[in-house]
Chain A
Amino acid sequence: MLLRLLNRALVLVASVLVASVLVFGFMRVLPGDPARIALGINASEGAVTQLREQFGLERPVLVQYLDWMRGLLTLDPGVEFISRAAIGPQIADRLQVTLWLVAASMVLAVLVAVPVGTWMAVRHRHADGMVVSALSQVGVAVPAFLAGILLISVFAVRLGWFPSGGWVVPAADPLGFVRGLTLPAISLALVQAAVLARYVRSAVLDVLREDYLRTARAKGLRPLPALWRHGLRNASVPVVTVLGLQLATLFIGAVVIERVFVIPGLGSLLLDSVARRELLTVQAVVMVLVVVVLVINFIVDVLYLLIDPRLRAR
């Protein structure tokens, strides 16, 4: 068991390293010179070269990479080229915002998906179950940003129930915070809930077909209590996997949703920094997202081992 954990941790570290090389490499091949963008089109070539040197962009690529890695390991990704602002605190601020958004969407999605998915499974031979199932299929197909735009035009612009965007710090104005979070969280949660519900449905269906559940029902238990007492733990194994993957995609989805709702989270920071060719900021944000995705993956693996003793034995 311990060996397996260690093994997975090593894989995690290796993956982060591979990702860092990829991210660093991609940023170098993007067109656009950060120094030129900082100085504008009136700057002389001399000034641009000088600034490139000041930014450290003239050094060998390997030196730049190692320097960057050293910064990451000490949790100090450096300062921005143009604004000279420290990147670390900015990421910390923005990550908090994104975490709220992701957490709210995840909770919403699970709260909807588990009962709906179970319902779809239990009633899969009935018309109502089929209708809900078909609806969830539609939900899977709607991109989050489209959902966001639709929600804004109906609930913000037309009805005025929620703000169309922006961010309120929870401590400053709890009600405003919840109102501001509602539409973006729903946009992200819609797709997630639909996807998740389908997985819950098939997991529950699988369990329903198991012998032990048939036995339980033969002993007189109704389907839902039988499921609750005997099936849920089994059904949760595939669901936890999906939940992990979904959580990872939620972070990526948040990048887009933050743009639609003008939320100053990691996604907005990422897109703005790309536009300004703030290489260090982009690299740092992407690495944070990559690490988040990989760590979630790791946690899913570990949970796997905990939930399903059969995996531990092997």
Chain B
Amino acid sequence: MTATSTLTRARTLAAAALASTALVAGCSAGSGTAEPTPTAGSGTGEGAGDGTGHTGSGAGDGDGSTGTDGGTTPGGSEETVRVGLVAEPASLDFTTSSGAAIPQVMMDNVYETLVTIDEGEIVPGLAESWEVSEDRTTYTFTLSDGVTFSNGSEFTAEDAKFSIERVSTDAWTNGLAAKLDVVESVEAPDDTTVVVTLSRPSNQFLFNLTTLVGAMFDSEGVHDLANDPIGTGPYVFESWDRGSMITLTRHEDYHGDAPYFQTVEMRYFRDGNALNNAMLTDAIDVVATVQAPEALMEFEGGAYQIIEGTTNGEIVLSMNQQEGNPLSDLRLRQAVRHAIDHQSLMDTCWAGKGVLIGSMVPPTDPWYEDRTGDYPFDQDRARDLIEEAGAGGTTLRLRIPTLPYAVACGTVVESMLEEVGLDVTIDELEFPSAWLETVFTNKDYDLSIVSHVEGRDMAAVFGNPDYYTTYGTEDLQALLEAADSGSEEQEITKMHEAARLISEDAAADFLFLLPNLMVAEPDITGLPENILAESFPLADLARD
């Protein structure tokens, strides 16, 4: 063997090693930005927080409200609308995978629910009306007639029974399935009647039916949900070009008003800049979620319409209060809340867009109460509390996910806490993988920042001491339970009390509520001002 060939081999081997190392290293570094970057409405903590069903309400139950079965209006146009988003779904099947990007496309567009939510109110969906028994454990739904699935088969009470029962089978592995644990039995006495019996009264039940666990499937059409979803919605899944877009087309036999657009292209960009550039170069018609509010400036000046509404995304500064942790001391947690100037924080890191909230309730919920005054910005008070707790100079690890709002606000929180004498170190953890493992599963953190975007998720996020927020005291659990099982008025009173308790105990700090920021061509109508559900409703979109 000659010197040349030995050299060649050495070089080849080295190249192999280098190439593979560089690739692996490169991709784990790069994946920070590769992330589904959920902001407004697009689900952050990957569904951080789902109702485990202990709480909440379901307004509008019990009075047998009658729904409208809107007459079909003359069909829409032949046009296509292109909607730009950042987080591409991992799969189309939300029964087996999590991630806010899946319901965002599928719910209300491809799949529908018995009841649905409209600006905070529960209104008829596939059920035109429903009645609740005296003891509030039996719900009798009357289904609309003439509803068909995209495969042509009719939607009947049997399908509804099948869909609700399926949530508690092994077929559903998504953790959100627990939302329907309260269901004891489902009956379908005739084609248009479904009777659901609960094991105990639960106000949250009806609300939960508006979410993905309430999606109605064809009992004969669930064999390949990941590739061939079949629903009753205004749109039908057409195709998925992985890495670029999902195409939906109008459901020709839709039971409601025909949508204006024949085709919808959900285009995925993974990166806020690429998304904005696509809008600026006319490659899309709508930016469904603006990734950073500063980007709105590019669109100001009249050439685009800008929508600023609200969402359910509470940005929570969670504090690990497990025993032995510095923040298990109430005084230190209170100091953290006093030390943060929320208005100036929101101005600095989110261009002042958003709503200040003092607890885990957005203003669009029935039990909202302004709690921003509980811990006013007061650095002296914060310093006193730190001194009382004997915690001056304590080092706190602020472990944040690589999501735009967390990265932007993390440094502001750091500097505000350092001003009152705490020592803060920031670790950015790749989201979801590294953050899930370190903060969520191992609870190896002192402070973290994540937006919890699910509706009415107070119980899910704070009701369980084993959850990463580590709160869930018995007092709170009792309140949440009373709220879920009580009457409608009791529910609201108890939820007020629960929110107050969470705030006063400084179970966490609430930085602000994420805004719903969208940009669109000026002639696009029907964009939702507030995104309060898990879906991005496409059927209302039209062009003037």
Residues of A within 8 A of B (CB): 4, 7-8, 11-12, 14-16, 18-19, 22-23, 26-27, 30-33, 36-44, 47, 50-51, 82-85, 90, 93-94, 149, 152, 156-157, 160, 163-167, 248, 252, 255-256, 259-262, 264-265, 268-272, 274-277, 282, 286, 289-290, 293-294, 297-298, 301, 311, 314
* Chain A contacts for B282, CB-based, 8 A: 160
**Residue B303 CB within 8 A of the other chain:** no
Residue among B34, B96, B226 having the largest count of chain A Cβ atoms under 10 Å: B34
Is B65 engaged at the interface, CB distance under 8 Å to the other chain? Answer: no
**A280 CA to B47 CA in the complex, in Å?**
25
Return the CB mask of B406-442 against A: 1 if under 8 Å, else 0.
0000000000000000000000001011101110110
* B98 near A275: Cβ-Cβ < 8 Å: no
B50: interface (CB < 8 Å): yes
Q: A31-B438, A40-B98, A41-B440 are in contact. Are A83 and B226 (CB under 8 A)?
A: yes
4 A-B pairs with least C-beta separation: A40-B98, A32-B433, A42-B175, A264-B243
Contact of A26 with B24 at beta-carbon distance under 8 Å, contacts A8-B8, A11-B13, A39-B97 already known: yes
Contact (Cβ within 8 A) B242 A164: no
B242 to chain A, nearest CB (A): 6
Residues of A within 8 A of B185 (CB): none
A43-B283 CB under 8 A given contacts A156-B277, A272-B88, A301-B8 = no
0 or 1 for each of B5-30: is its CB under 8 Å from A? (1 = yes): 10011011101110111111011101
Measured between beta carbons, the chain A residues less than 8 angstroms from B45 are 41
Q: Is there a chain A Cβ closer than 8 Å to B91's Cβ?
A: yes
Q: Which of B35, B48, B241, B283 contacts A275 (CB 8 A)?
A: B35
Nearest CB in chain A to that of B243: its residue: A264
Which chain B residues (149-171) contact chain A, with CB distance < 8 Å? none
Which of B267-275, B361-369, B470-478 lies on the face that meets chain A?
B267-275
How far, in whole Å, are A294 and B430 apart by their CA atoms in the complex?
31
Q: Which residue of B lies closest to A258 (CB)?
A: B243
Q: Is the interface of A mostly helix, strand, loop or mixed?
A: helix
Q: In the complex, what distance in Å separates the CA atom of A255 from the CA atom of B226?
A: 27
- Asked if A164 contacts B22 (CB within 8 A), the reply is no
Q: Do A42 and B15 form a contact, CB below 8 Å, given A4-B5, A23-B20?
A: no
Residues of B contacting A152 in the complex (Cβ-Cβ under 8 angstroms): 277
Q: Given A157-B281, A264-B243, are A40 and B174 also a contact pair (CB < 8 Å)?
A: yes
Do A19 and B175 have beta carbons less than 8 Å apart?
no
Of listed A7, A27, A39, residue having the most chain B CB within 10 A? A39
Residues of B within 8 A of A163 (CB): 281, 283
Residues in A neighbouring B433, C-beta threshold 8 A? 30-33, 37, 275, 277
- A37 touches which one: B9, B281, B432 (CB < 8 A)? B432
Bound-state CA distance A314–B5 (Å) is 10
Contact B280–A37 (Cβ < 8 Å): no
Chain A residues, Cβ within 8 Å of B280 = 157, 164
List CB contacts (< 8 Å) of B370-400 with chain A. none
**Bound form: Cα–Cα A262–B242 in Å:** 12
Cα-based distance from A298 to B8 in the complex (angstroms): 9
Whether the pair A43, B277 counts as a contact (CB closer than 8 A) is no
Residue of chain A at shortest CB distance from B10: A11
Pairwise interchain contact B274-A165, C-beta atoms closer than 8 A: yes
B281 to chain A: which residues have CB within 8 Å?
Answer: 156-157, 160, 163-164
Give every chain A residue within 8 A of B17 (Cβ-Cβ). Answer: 18-19, 22
